[in-house]
Amino acid sequence: MRTRRFMQLDVFSDRPLLGNPLAVVIDGDGLDDLTMQAFARWTNLSETTFLLPPTRIDADYRVRIFTPRQELPFAGHPSVGSAYAAIESALVASGKCELVQECAAGLLPVRIEGGGSERIIHVQAPPARLHTPDASEAARVAQALRVDPAQMRMRLVDNGPRWLVCDLHDAADVRQLQPDLTLIAAISQAIGAIGISVFGREPAGAAAMAVRAFCPADGIPEDPVTGSANAAIMAFLADAGDPAGYGLRYRASQGREVGRDGCVEVTRDAATGAISIGGACAMGIRGELQLD
């Protein structure tokens, strides 16, 4: 059997055992879809990625992203972590500060700041499409979150995966949530969403925004730190308006409630509207695997 290089990282943290874990198969060429999906089920992480030679001349590498249940066109922490793995495994030239990732959602710019343990990787998310759910849909989501629907703003945001994004206004309300995960799974499956993301502001905290993401339909009761959900939140703010001034840049705290506290830098370009998510990575495992 062919030996393939493998890494397991913690993304959106500069220290191991925090952030969001990611499995990366470096030499993914030659594996079929069923094997990739089976391996993602086996790792049982929220996402597993496979690095492949690009099919586009203007891309530096290609990535395929799998949850234990399905392939995703884009996801944030797998994109940040895959760029880190491509650099660490020398799939891309050392010292490059601008990369292009090819994925099912298209070609995405990647920007690298710093190096070594201080390296921060920023990935541009695909453009988002937003929809305002009707009152009955909003009421069902509020029931699942166990909050008053009058205190919640909501959008359906599609930036590769589809997220139900809910503004609960205050970080304290986000952190104390005890949602109905069975109902969240049913809602997600009914509308083809990956889950529900909630956020609230925390101006006095080390991070300005508290975020949580619930994805029980994919076997992930609560995702530790979620790049695509944070990009979806920024798209929500740009669409709905944000008088508190979070509409161009903020730092999000996510994962504290599941013991995986991580940090996401979220930015929106005022001229183009392009949204990027960024963070650090910490190496956990580097080795080889037998997979065919």
Same domain, 265 and 195: yes
* Residues with active-site annotation: 47
Same domain, 212 and 231: yes
Domain count, the chain: 2
Question: Which of 28-37, 88-97, 240-249 shows the lowest mean pLDDT across its residues?
Answer: 240-249
Same domain, 42 and 137: no
Q: What is the CATH number of the domain that holds 215?
A: 3.10.310.10
Percent of the chain with pLDDT over 90: 91
Q: What is the pLDDT of residue 116?
A: 81
Measured between alpha carbons, how far is 125 from 72 in angstroms, rounded to an integer?
13
Same domain, 145 and 117: no
Q: What is the pLDDT of residue 39?
A: 97
Instruction: Check pLDDT > 80 for residue 149.
Output: yes
- Are the C-beta atoms of 250 and 214 separated by less than 8 Å? no
Same domain, 179 and 240: yes
Amino acid letter, residue 243: P
Same domain, 139 and 259: yes
Same domain, 107 and 10: yes
Residue 107: which of 57, 70, 66 has the closest Cα?
Answer: 57
Residue 261: CB atoms within 10 Å: 18
Same domain, 147 and 234: yes
Same domain, 96 and 184: no
Residue 116: which of 280, 277, 287, 5 has the closest Cα?
Answer: 280
Same domain, 59 and 169: no
Same domain, 138 and 267: yes
Q: DSSP letters along 15-70, please?
A: STTSSEEEEEES--TT--HHHHHHHHHHHTSS-EEEEE--SSTT-SEEEEEE-SS-
Query: Residue 40 is part of which domain span?
Result: 3-127+279-290
